[in-house]
Amino acid sequence: MMAARMLEAYRVVEVRSADGSDFAPPEIAQRFEGRLYTLRQLEERGVRITGAGAWYLAAGKDWQLKLEPVF
């Protein structure tokens, strides 16, 4: 089941600070704009996929990515 999820397409719809209070600066958010990614592709770009979400380390901070599956 997890292997199938790794191949599904996702869109990053939002990038926020770890506590969710702030949006990421444009230079970080733009790294994920306008494309679809599989979970594997996101991991290859340094995104950590956990049971609690998707996390990206940039500019010395953790950023929370909101993923939306594309059907």
- Give the least confident one: 7-11, 25-29, 41-45, 62-66: 7-11
- Please write the tens of the pLDDT for every residue from 60-69: 999 999 999 9
Q: Where are the domains of the chain?
A: 2-69
Please report, for residues 6, 19, 59, 61, the alpha-carbon distance to residue 36 in angstroms, rounded to integers and kept in the order given.
13, 25, 23, 24
- Please write the tens of the pLDDT for every residue from 31-45: 999 899 999 999 999
| Local structure of 40: helix, strand or coil | helix
pTM value? Answer: 0.84
